[in-house]
Structure 1
Amino acid sequence: MATQRDFLGIGWKFPLQVNAAGRIAQARHEQRIEEGIYLVLATAKGERPMLPEFGCGIHDLVFEPNNPRTVARAVQAVREGLTRYEPRIDVLDVSASAAPERENLLLIRVSYRIRANNAIGNLVYPFYIREAG
C-alpha cells in the first residue's frame, strides 16, 4: 500500500545500523532527507576518494579561533555544501553560534524546505572546532 510520502524515498539508515530482526535498519521519508543533510555536513572534502569534492568545507575550520570570522566561514561552507549536494531541499537559512560555556563547539542551525512537498524542516548540527581543553 503506497502512501503519499513514498516519493521521498526509503534507504539505509545513517549511520548504518541493524534492527531487532537482524536486518539493516531503514530510514523513510523526511528522516531520509535529514540523514542526507547530516551526511553532507559530516563529510570532509577529500574524504571520499571517488567523490573528492563531496562534503562540506567546515572541516577546514578545525583549530580556527571561535570568532565571528570563523562563524561566518562555517555558515558559508554549510550553505555551499547543502546547495550543491542535497538537491531535494531548498536551504532557507543557516546560522551558527558558540555553545554556551563551550568555546570549542559551534551549533550550526539549518532551516530547509523539502522541494517535493514544501515541508519545512530544521536541525542543529554540533561542530567541534577544537578538542575539549
Structure 2
Amino acid sequence: MADELREPGFLGRGWAFPVVAGAAGQVALVAGATAIEQAIGIILGTSPGERVMRPEFGCGIWGLVMETNTAQLHGRVQLRVRDALVRWEPRIDVLDVRVESPPEERQVLLIHIDYRVRSNNAAYNLVYPFFLEEGVRQ
C-alpha cells in the first residue's frame, strides 16, 4: 500500500474519507482535486482539541453552534474558515470565503469557498453547510 500512496506531483494521494474498504478489502484511495476537497471537509469538520496528537488542528466554527444567526456571526465564521484553510491546506490559495443563510432555513449557514490549486492554477469552489442547531443535519 505504501507504493500506492506515492504519486508524483504536489497534490498526492491518500485514503478516501470517510474510510471505506473496496471489494478486495483494500482501503479506497483518492487523488488530486478530490483529495483536496475531502481534506477541506476534514479541516472544517474537526474542532480544535479533537485530535490528541495535534490539538490545534481544525476549524473553530464548532464553538459557534447554537449562536444567533447574525451578520456578525457570518463574519466570525468567514474569518475562522479562511484562517483554518490557510493554515492547514498548503496545496491551495483561498480566493474567497462567503457565508449566507437561506431565508427559509435560518438554522443553516452556507459557507461558499473559492480556492485555487497551487500546482496547476485550477480554480474550484465548494459549499459547506454548517448547522447552527445540533441534530438538524440531513
Fold conserved between structures, TM > 0.5: yes
The count of corresponding residues between Structure 1 and Structure 2 is 128
Runs of 5+ in structure 1 lacking a partner?
A: none
Q: Which residue of 2 aligns with 1:10?
A: 13
Which letter does structure 2 place at the counterpart of 1:117? N
Are 2:68 and 1:65 aligned? yes
- Superposition deviation, residue 51 in structure 1: 0.8
TM-score normalised according to structure 1 size: 0.91
Identity of aligned residues (%): 48
Task: Write out per-residue CA displacement over residues 81-109 of structure 1, whole angstroms, 9 at most, x where no aligned residue.
Answer: 00000011000000011134111110001
TM-score normalised according to structure 2 size: 0.88
Structure whose residues are more often strand by fraction: 1
Runs of 5+ in structure 2 lacking a partner?
A: 1-6
Which stretch shifts more, 98-107 or 88-97? 98-107
- Moved segments of 4+, more than 4 Å: none
Where do 1:1-133 residues align within 5 Å?
A: 6-7=8-9, 8-131=11-134, 132=136
Q: Which residue of 1 aligns with 2:3?
A: none
The CA RMSD over aligned residues, in Å, is 1.3
- Superposition deviation, residue 111 in structure 1: 0.3
SS of the aligned residue for 2:22 comes to coil
